[in-house]
Structure 1
Amino acid sequence: MQAFIIDLDGTLFRGTEMIPGADLFIQQLRERKLPFLLMTNNSTRTAAEVARHMQGMGIPAEETDVFTSAQAAAQYWDEEQQGKRVFVIGETGLREALKDRGFELVDEAPDVVIQGIDRKFDYEKLTAAVRHIRAGAKSIITNPDHLLPSDGGFLPGAGSIAAAIERATGVQPVVIGKPSPIIMRYAMARLGAAADRTLVVGDNCVTDIGGGAAAGCRTALMLTGLATVSNWREHAEAAGVQPDLVCHGLDELLHKAMSIESIS
């Protein structure tokens, strides 16, 4: 049975507006009992908040459908079992994910620095992170995105903050979110799906298509967000990946995905 790992912003919605057909697409996946997970690199919101955001647009998403880079980062460090003391640079989604795993959020002597997007990031936080890592704390980032789309243009992302910390410490962090295969492996485990039975869907050639390919999954590029009819070939070439499917809309995606399933 085909399983789906589906990107959110640019694939199911843009900001606060649902991409046409997203509600019906999720409904059809449920009706056909096709397993799926809604994956986001954004670590600012909890899974419940992400689900409510989509519900407000009419997309029938539930908290259990959502998997965030914050949850994946917390899972990774939990499995590493190298200490419970965490210095966090991030917002509610990351902090709550770590608390849910039983970690102690501290300002001094942490075992690890876990960093996501933080819209209140400042020199004081940078200094603290650098000192902790240089003193031996491990370094983890939720996702490497350098820019985030917004209504007013692009904003610096978690990867931009990470670049400053890495430059000052000389320590390369463990990357959890797309295109890292770490978050992809966790997602497939949650779905109970093998890589060759999983289709990764998204609008970003670097994170979505690159991450899916790195994990050995089939991929579907949506021309509904970052990738468009006019630029997708250029994006794919720059990312060094080629999607298995290219779709203009979600109705086309489901039709093509089922066609692949019938001959695989």
Structure 2
Amino acid sequence: MVTHYDGYLIDLDGTIYQGTKQFPSGRRFINRLAASQTKYLFVTNNSTKTPEAVAENLTNNHQIPTTPDQVYTSAMALADYLEKFDQIHRVLMIGEEGLEQALLAKGFELVTEAPADAVAIGLDRAVTYEKILQGTLAIQQGAMFVATNPDTNLPTERGMVPGAGSVVAFLATAVRPAPIVIGKPEHIIMDGALDKLQIKRHEAIMVGDNYNTDIKAGLSADIDTLLVYSGVSKKDDVLKQAKQPTHWVDSLDDWTIEK
């Protein structure tokens, strides 16, 4: 299959690797993109890691040389989104290092108590009732409610453990406005990724293994999609969907990159 795109937006877990397991097909796919001098950006819902940490993992553990500027996380997309609002300065954050560093990089003042201009929440494996209480009070007082991503579970060696969506639901249950969700399958992270890669929608393709996150994100942003059956989604289930991915492959080795 040969199709030309100027830029690739690429999911990580289940697409390029699976946890600590290497995908040789993922490494070969990235090598072909690099050899053809095609732009690409790793787009991940993981809000806990900094782009430096993601790049280090790809480089050292998966033999895919990567720099931080080739990574775009839901935390970075959230910070980019909040930056658009002149009235937002104080942010009450419920999250981990990736979200913290993304917000600090944009110059926001991070606070732990209400009042705040915005409440930004992602996966927080040290979440406490007090954090949720302060977030609740801030939102009740008018703070914008923004969440990195809606993933309910994360695949780990221990099983499907609670994801960011589970933490978000804890806070969302206590307040009236629903959160503005930034990550896949929403379009906001895709809009930010296009801006970062400096390409237009019709020039891009979203590559991923999960129909409900990666492919729906592409569909919501009017971007072509490539579903690879190496991870979450199964062919029989996807065939039942009203909207189909633009392309699909069993392995990324089956995709030819046109220069």
Judge same fold: TM > 0.5, yes or no.
yes
Cα offsets for 1:139-168 (capped at 9, x unmatched): 000111111111111111111111221121
Structure 1 residue corresponding to 2:98, chosen from 93, 104, 108: 93
Partner of 1:178: 184
**SS of residue paired to 1:11:** coil
Residue 52 (structure 2) aligns with: 48
Superposed CA offset, 1:48-85 (max 9, x none): 10000111221122111100010010111011122211
Secondary structure at the counterpart of residue 246 of structure 1? strand
- Structure 2 CA distance for aligned equivalents of residues 91 and 241 of structure 1: 35
What amino acid does structure 2 have at the position aligned with 1:136?
G
Q: Is the CA contact (8 Å cut-off) linking 1:5 and 1:198 kept in structure 2?
A: yes
Counterpart of 2:248? 246
Letter of the structure 1 residue corresponding to residue 236 of structure 2:
R
Contact 2:40 2:70 in 1 (8 A): yes
Check whether the contact 1:23–1:60 (CA below 8 A) recurs between aligned residues.
no
| CA displacement, residues 212-232 of structure 1 (integer Å, 9 cap, x when unaligned) | 0111111011111112xxx23
Aligned to 2:237: 234
Give deviations 1:197-239, integer Å, cap 9, x for gaps.
2110001111100000111111011111112xxx23314636x
1:157 corresponds, among 163, 172, 177, to: 163
Question: 1:1-264, aligned counterparts within 5 Å?
Answer: 1-56=5-60, 57-108=62-113, 109-227=115-233, 231-235=234-238, 237=240, 240-253=242-255, 255=256, 258=258
Q: Deviations over 1:168-196 (max 9, x none)?
A: 10211111111111110111122222212
- Any conservation in 1 of the 2:205–2:226 contact (CA below 8 Å)? yes
**Aligned partner letter, 1:117:** L
Amino acid at match of 2:179: P
Q: For structure 1, which runs of at least 5 residues remain unmatched after alignment?
A: none
Report the aligned-residue RMSD.
Answer: 1.5
Q: 2-side partners of 1:97 and 1:218: how far apart?
A: 28
Tell me, in whole angstroms, the C-alpha distance in 2 between the residues paired with 1:125 and 1:112.
Answer: 14
Q: Which amino acid aligns with 2:29?
A: F
State how far apart, in whole Å, the 2-side matches of 1:235 and 1:114 are.
33
Normalising by structure 2, we get a TM-score of: 0.93
Identical aligned residues as a percent: 39
Conserved 8 A contact 1:115-1:140: yes
Structure 2: distance between partners of 1:14 and 1:119: 21
Structure 2 SS opposite 1:61: coil
Per-residue displacement from partner, 1:106-149 (whole Å, max 9, x unpaired)? 12211110001001112221111111111111100011111111
Asked if 1 retains the 8 angstrom alpha-carbon contact of 2:238 and 2:244, the reply is no
